[in-house]
């Protein structure tokens, strides 16, 4: 069965789980009516299903390649990209001032989910442009906006993010790239950057690199870093691609997955660049871009999980292996253990999708209302959505392979590709360890206020659900109580103890949010109760062990000598 | 850092955790003294480290290929195989009657662990021969033994297992291959078999296929299946490879991992075969072979996990990213979350290795003493060792990639290969779902007697450990109590409810056995206490959620309609 975009699920979550109606009710997003949302998601789903999904295998089997220093895309990617660009999907959340549609992130995230489920390797290309558009909207001068934003928004040009260097990964502050002022307001940017997604492309007429580099008077560490726009072709007076800039693709990485997405080593050799934002304030500008990119990566995890689930579901409905409890010649979906796996997968996808969309609603509400509470909610949920959504992407794809049995290990079926593709998502845009540290440190710098407010909400919703679903509501209420205690315990810990328990704490937090989302779904639509029961009764109890691990702190880990790690 | 065989860890577990001394104390294995064990493991470790491990990347990058119908092995595999064969490692547990060394499975399993950690794709080749040797020892006629066993044992010839057909995977009884009597005591075997590991080879002078097929009077299902020896070259009067048999490799699978291991589609076209064992009793014969093969696959999971851990450990010791809590320019191993991952990995490898070796000791004791209790212990532990060891293989390799960050997703580092290679182990030799069903059905057919006896032992050991390690011993005792209750609950469930909870129950069981192993290790050697604490305090609590899932039964899963699985 080919991929079918989950329009129905996304709409249901928006309407009944994450409160998208609040977004439509704001003046800022008044145009995003339920009808508009339906039209947008249906059309994006049509492109994902009909145009992008058929490219997914080709991208894997015929990776992007480097020819004479230029990237040649996988077969069919040009048509796929054109459908995305001409449909206006790159600029759907971008400001209408420069050609965007100004739609809520909640809808854009649903589109990310569907397009990444259809073809992750290609979806990465517009994703990077969207991040760049956002960074420029917030930090670029009016001239730069006028020059770049319309072309990025239309998809005629595309954008990249250049952060990582061989010695500077999670520790961005260790970067060595330099920018020398040329005296005319421009800069000569020099350095090597790695892991540059879609660092070159034959699908657009210009590739715009946002590059982190240090000015001569920049301090060491992250405080001395500035952000530069360094286009592949320097725009001429008419704003068209002109002279070739001094930058090149050195090589492409040979990767486990997303073969259709060229991952470039970039060399900048005195390339002409323009400062974006204030000198030495590059990290702040980059963070604007990264925060929403992190949420988009959550949608990638969910999207690939959805695709892997659909693939496994089709196989399990077709494959017959002996009598099942339901019939003498039924399909393997009716064997208890296969059902268990599929039920876990569906419950996980629904939960992770709900968490990501609730983060998107918080962003939209913060944008629309300026409310600090919504801002804090969005900030709190971003690392949870990213880390949990991408972990689930890997886990669901893993189960998808397992359901295929031997066929899952054979590349021809495509089950393994989802597993390989998903594997990057817990790593890029800040590893999931970094996300968890962000959660327990920066996002708890408010004394846990945003977290406790969310826990209050979960418990209020559980109270409200109690008459209809007493046992499930009771379980969610109790789990929220455990989350409250775990959060209080965390706040009492020194920072490195928090870090030692950050990953299990984050996952436990996500377990309760998943139970909460399923409970709301079952209240809104009683036919969803069986799935909610799978989440709340079979998956959510995991929080007990996770919070136990979280409580352990760091001392036990540092009691191990380096020798203790060796066999 | 290149792979270094974990001789020390295996010896420690044999001596202090799983009671190998009992094996040495039997007349049957009197030769397997501690000195002999050390010599064997040290020598196997030397080959694994020095000869096999350097082949692992070549096997991945230059897969086995088919040329003119014959398999051409990966570069260096000929030398690697020769070292295994000439060292006598194929026949180390085989009977001395036909050239074997007659050593305990406990030692052979340690060797499997090290050689599969070094190069899984190549280790599979002798592994299949070992299974075949065992099946022939138990079921073949004396003539067949005399003809085949010496050559298989010396590694001059190799063996394969031919079970699966496109429509007959987990449901072996659905196979369609036929065997027609030729009137001279031989049979014409016809059919297509898939997933035939090392189905052809340029490393040996003959490939001996054990093929499941149905005689003309064979009943439907598993009861009508017979086992045949079908050699690639029919032995001549002198026992040398003679006339070419009517069988061929149709194609090799393009797989996610173990690229150096050719996975063949085999076509038998009236190939000459000899019946092994009684007519229609092929499944029983195959099960002899499969049970120990399942345990060997457990060692593969552990072995790859070990290799992935060593690889990640080396990276984490070299890679510097910012100040750690221990120093301003420390390696990432000193960041709490990286330590957490490495500590979990090491604790998991030790636990899974201990479970596999304790199963091997039970097999040896059953062989040496004929005791039904030891037999039942071995039968109980086999599915746990296989499913848990291979799950841990995948999970540890996944964490290994994560520790590498972006470098983990780039194939050049080799971290991803462990993850790809390990992925087959939860699938072959009976998927882990099948293992779990075996545990909760066949292995509980004794009313749980073997399980309760093991739980008693865990609690006795916990009592004995209480003076030295009161909190850890208490935790293990309590967890064993929870396992007892979960087992009682399971036994009260109808079969399909057991199946619905089989996988979480098995994992929960393994969690307690892991805690038990670490507790014994810490009692024997106090320097191992910190690692035991990681297992018991951070990992073992997972059983709470697992047993909760196990209790849920099947009804909730069957309450989901097929539509409920779709988004």
The single residue of B429, B449, B552, B563 carrying the catalytic annotation is B429
User: Strand, helix or coil at B263?
Assistant: strand
Contact A339 B500 (CB under 8 A): yes
Please give the backbone phi and psi of residue B517, each rounded to the nearest 5 degrees, phi first.
-60, -45
pLDDT above 90 (res A284)? no
Q: Could you tell me the pLDDT band of residue B556, with boundaries at 50, 70 and 90?
A: very high
pLDDT above 70 (res B103)? yes
Contact A424 B409 (CB under 8 A): yes
Same domain, residue pair B143 and B214: no
Looking at residue B91, its pLDDT comes to 96
Contact B337 A426 (CB under 8 A): no
Same domain, residue pair A84 and A66: yes
Of A342, A427, A566, the CB nearest to B406: A427
Residues B338 and A187: beta-carbon distance below 8 Å: no
By mean pLDDT, which of A156-160, B20-24, B82-86, B168-172 is the weakest?
Answer: B168-172
Counted residue by residue, chain B has a size of 567
Contact A322 B503 (CB under 8 A): no
Distance (Å) from the C-alpha of residue A345 to the closest C-alpha of chain B? Answer: 9
Does residue A173 belong to any structural domain of this protein? Answer: yes
Distance (Å) from the C-alpha of residue A248 to the closest C-alpha of chain B? Answer: 20
Rounded Cα distance, B201 and B208, in Å: 11
**pLDDT tens by residue, A539-556:** 999 999 999 999 999 999
Contact A499 B170 (CB under 8 A): no
pLDDT above 90 (res A496)? yes
Residue among B297, B341, B409, B426 with most chain A CBs within 10 A, to mutate: B409
Strand pairing partners for B165?
A: B168
Same domain, residue pair B94 and B221: no
Residue among B254, B406, B543 with most chain A CBs within 10 A, to mutate: B406
Residue among A538, A542, A558, A562 with most chain B CBs within 10 A, to mutate: A538
Looking at residue A285, its pLDDT comes to 85
Rounded Cα distance, B286 and A280, in Å: 70
The last residue of one of the domains, among A152, A186, A210, is A152
Using an 8 Å CB-CB cutoff, list chain A residues near B429. Answer: none
Looking at residue A291, its pLDDT comes to 79
The last residue of one of the domains, among B100, B125, B151, is B151
Rounded Cα distance, B90 and B134, in Å: 11
The answer, yes or no, to whether ipTM is higher than 0.95 is yes
Contact B565 A534 (CB under 8 A): no
Rounded Cα distance, A130 and A297, in Å: 12
Contact B428 A416 (CB under 8 A): no
Using an 8 Å CB-CB cutoff, list chain B residues near A174. Answer: 321-322
Using an 8 Å CB-CB cutoff, list chain A residues near B326. Answer: 558
Strand A157-162 and strand B206-214: the pairing is unpaired
Q: Could you tell me the pLDDT band of residue A1, with boundaries at 50, 70 and 90?
A: low
Rounded Cα distance, A5 and B47, in Å: 52
The single residue of A429, A463, A552, A563 carrying the catalytic annotation is A429
Residues B105 and B295: beta-carbon distance below 8 Å: yes
Does residue B491 belong to any structural domain of this protein? Answer: yes
Looking at residue B291, its pLDDT comes to 79
Distance (Å) from the C-alpha of residue A226 to the closest C-alpha of chain B? Answer: 19
Does residue A565 belong to any structural domain of this protein? Answer: no
**For B565, which residue in chain A has the nearest alpha carbon?**
A346
Same domain, residue pair A13 and A40: yes
For the beta carbon of residue B223, count every other beta carbon within 10 angstroms: 12
**Average pLDDT across chain A, whole number:** 97
Using an 8 Å CB-CB cutoff, list chain B residues near A554. Answer: 325, 336, 339
Distance (Å) from the C-alpha of residue B432 to the closest C-alpha of chain A? Answer: 9
Question: Mean of the pLDDT values across residues B473-496?
Answer: 98
Rounded Cα distance, B64 and A47, in Å: 40
Question: Mean of the pLDDT values across residues B92-119?
Answer: 97
Contact B336 A500 (CB under 8 A): yes
**pLDDT tens by residue, B131-169:** 999 999 999 999 999 999 999 999 999 999 999 999 999
Q: What's the 3-state SS for A178-238?
A: EEEECCCCCEEEEEEEEEEECCCCCCCCEEEEEEEEECCCCCCCHHHEEEEEEECEEECCC
Does residue B296 belong to any structural domain of this protein? Answer: no
Does residue B213 belong to any structural domain of this protein? Answer: yes
Does residue B329 belong to any structural domain of this protein? Answer: no
Looking at residue B567, its pLDDT comes to 81
Does residue A27 belong to any structural domain of this protein? Answer: yes
Number of domains in chain B: 3
Rounded Cα distance, B392 and B383, in Å: 14
Rounded Cα distance, A441 and A443, in Å: 6
Of B253, B543, B556, the CB nearest to A530: B556
For the beta carbon of residue B517, count every other beta carbon within 10 angstroms: 28
**For B498, which residue in chain A has the nearest alpha carbon?**
A336
Residues A29 and A23: beta-carbon distance below 8 Å: yes
DSSP B281-330: -HHHHHHHHHHHHHHHHHHHHHHHHHHHHHHHHHHHHH-B-S--SS-TT-
Query: How much of chain A, in percent, has pLDDT values that exceed 90?
Result: 96
Of A321, A432, A436, the CB nearest to B169: A321
Rounded Cα distance, A305 and A346, in Å: 9
CA B49 to chain CA centroid, Å, is: 20
Residue among B327, B330, B337 with most chain A CBs within 10 A, to mutate: B337
Contact A527 B257 (CB under 8 A): no
Contact A567 B6 (CB under 8 A): yes
Contact B564 A346 (CB under 8 A): yes
Looking at residue B55, its pLDDT comes to 98
Question: Mean of the pLDDT values across residues B311-331?
Answer: 93
Active site residue B429: yes
Contact B194 A406 (CB under 8 A): yes
> Which residue, among B344, B283, B289, B405, has the nearest Cα to B537 in the 3D structure?
B344
pLDDT above 80 (res A358)? yes
Same domain, residue pair A67 and A198: no
**pLDDT tens by residue, B384-410:** 999 999 999 999 999 999 999 999 999
The sign of the dihedral angle between the CA atoms of B301, B303, B306, B311 is: negative
**pLDDT tens by residue, A411-445:** 999 999 999 999 999 999 999 999 999 999 999 99
Using an 8 Å CB-CB cutoff, list chain A residues near B411. Answer: 254-256
Same domain, residue pair B24 and B138: yes
Of B343, B408, B543, the CB nearest to A557: B343
Residues B110 and B14: beta-carbon distance below 8 Å: yes
**Average pLDDT across chain B, whole number:** 97
The last residue of one of the domains, among A224, A245, A280, is A280
Task: Label residue B259 left, alpha or beta by phi (over 0 means left) and psi (-120 to 50 means alpha).
Answer: alpha
Range of the domain at B87: 7-151
Rounded Cα distance, B320 and B328, in Å: 10
Rg (C-alpha) for chain A, rounded Å, is 23
Same domain, residue pair A36 and A136: yes
> Which residue, among B507, B432, B501, B386, has the nearest Cα to A336 in the 3D structure?
B501
Rounded Cα distance, B457 and B372, in Å: 17
Looking at residue A287, its pLDDT comes to 81
Same domain, residue pair B93 and B48: yes
pLDDT above 90 (res B286)? no
* Domain CATH code at residue A117: 1.10.540.10
Distance (Å) from the C-alpha of residue A544 to the closest C-alpha of chain B? Answer: 7
Looking at residue A492, its pLDDT comes to 98
Distance (Å) from the C-alpha of residue A97 to the closest C-alpha of chain B? Answer: 36
Same domain, residue pair B251 and B236: yes
Contact A254 B549 (CB under 8 A): no
Rounded Cα distance, B85 and A467, in Å: 70
Of A167, A346, A411, the CB nearest to B255: A411
Using an 8 Å CB-CB cutoff, list chain B residues near A164. Answer: 406
Query: How much of chain B, in percent, has pLDDT values that exceed 90?
Result: 96
Distance (Å) from the C-alpha of residue B163 to the closest C-alpha of chain A? Answer: 13
Residue among A14, A257, A308, A336 with most chain B CBs within 10 A, to mutate: A336
Looking at residue A317, its pLDDT comes to 95
Q: Could you tell me the pLDDT band of residue B1, with boundaries at 50, 70 and 90?
A: low
Cβ contacts of B494 within 8 Å, gap of 6 or more = none
Same domain, residue pair B240 and B140: no
Dig out the tokens for B103 from the structure. 């050593």
Dig out the tokens for B182 from the structure. 């030729």
Looking at residue B226, its pLDDT comes to 97
* Domain CATH code at residue B175: 2.40.110.20
Same domain, residue pair A143 and A183: no
Question: Mean of the pLDDT values across residues B525-549?
Answer: 97
Query: How much of chain A, in percent, has pLDDT values that exceed 70?
Result: 100
Of A408, A552, A562, the CB nearest to B333: A562
Same domain, residue pair A168 and A146: no
Residues B407 and B315: beta-carbon distance below 8 Å: yes
Does residue B246 belong to any structural domain of this protein? Answer: yes
Rounded Cα distance, A342 and A314, in Å: 11
Rounded Cα distance, A82 and A382, in Å: 30
């Amino acid at each position: 069965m080919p991929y079918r975009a989950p329009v129905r699920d996304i709409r249901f979550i928006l309407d009944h789980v994450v409160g998208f109606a609040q977004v439509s009710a704001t003046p800022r997003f008044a145009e995003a009516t339920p009808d508009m949302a339906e039209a947008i998601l249906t059309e994006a789903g049509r492109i994902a299903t009909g145009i992008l999904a058929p490219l997914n295998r080709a991208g894997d089997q015929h990776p992007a390649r480097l020819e004479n220093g230029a990237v040649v895309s996988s077969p069919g990617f040009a048509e796929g990209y054109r459908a995305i660009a001409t449909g206006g999907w790159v600029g759907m959340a971008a400001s209408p001032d420069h050609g965007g549609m100004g739609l809520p992130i909640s809808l854009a995230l649903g589109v990310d989910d569907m397009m990444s489920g259809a073809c992750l390797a290609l979806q990465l290309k517009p994703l990077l442009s969207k991040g760049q558009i956002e960074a420029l909207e917030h930090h670029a001068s009016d001239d730069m906006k006028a020059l770049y934003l319309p072309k990025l928004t239309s998809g005629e040009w595309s954008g990249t993010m250049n952060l990582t260097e061989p010695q500077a990964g999670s520790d961005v502050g260790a970067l060595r790239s330099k920018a020398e002022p040329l005296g005319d307001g421009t800069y000569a940017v020099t350095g090597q950057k790695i892991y540059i997604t879609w660092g070159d492309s034959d699908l657009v007429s210009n590739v715009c690199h946002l590059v982190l580099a240090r000015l001569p008077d920049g301090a060491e560490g992250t405080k001395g870093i500035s952000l530069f726009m360094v286009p592949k072709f320097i725009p001429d007076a008419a704003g068209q691609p002109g002279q070739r800039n001094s930058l090149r693709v050195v090589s492409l990485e040979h990767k486990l997955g997303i073969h259709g997405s060229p991952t470039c080593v970039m060399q900048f050799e005195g390339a002409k660049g323009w400062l974006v934002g204030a000198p030495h304030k590059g990290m702040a500008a980059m963070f604007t871009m990264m925060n929403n990119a992190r949420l988009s990566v959550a949608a990638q995890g969910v999207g690939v999980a959805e695709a892997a689930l659909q693939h496994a579901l089709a196989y399990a409905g077709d494959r017959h292996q002996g009598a099942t409890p339901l019939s003498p010649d039924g399909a393997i979906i009716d064997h208890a253990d296969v059902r268990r796996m599929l039920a876990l997968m569906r419950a996980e996808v629904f939960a992770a999708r709900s968490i990501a969309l609730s983060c998107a609603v918080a962003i939209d509400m913060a944008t629309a209302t300026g409310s600090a509470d919504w801002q804090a909610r969005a900030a709190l949920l971003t690392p949870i959505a990213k880390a949990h959504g991408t972990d689930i992407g890997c886990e669901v794809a893993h189960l998808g392979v397992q359901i295929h049995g031997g066929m899952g290990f054979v590349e021809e079926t495509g089950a393994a590709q989802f597993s390989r593709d998903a594997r990057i998502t817990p790593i890029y845009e800040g590893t999931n360890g970094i996300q968890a540290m962000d959660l327990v440190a920066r996002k708890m710098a408010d004394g846990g206020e945003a977290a406790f407010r969310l826990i209050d909400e979960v418990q209020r919703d559980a109270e409200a659900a109690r008459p209809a679903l007493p046992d499930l509501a009771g379980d969610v209420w109790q789990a929220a109580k455990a989350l409250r205690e775990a959060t209080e315990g965390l706040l009492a810990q020194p920072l490195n103890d928090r870090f030692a328990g950050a990953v299990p704490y984050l996952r436990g937090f996500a377990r309760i949010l998943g139970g909460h989302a399923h409970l709301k779904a079952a209240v809104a639509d009683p036919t969803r109760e069986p799935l909610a029961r799978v989440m709340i009764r079979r998956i959510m109890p995991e929080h007990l062990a996770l919070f136990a691990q979280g409580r352990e702190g760091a001392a036990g880990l540092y009691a191990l000598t380096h020798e203790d790690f060796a066999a």
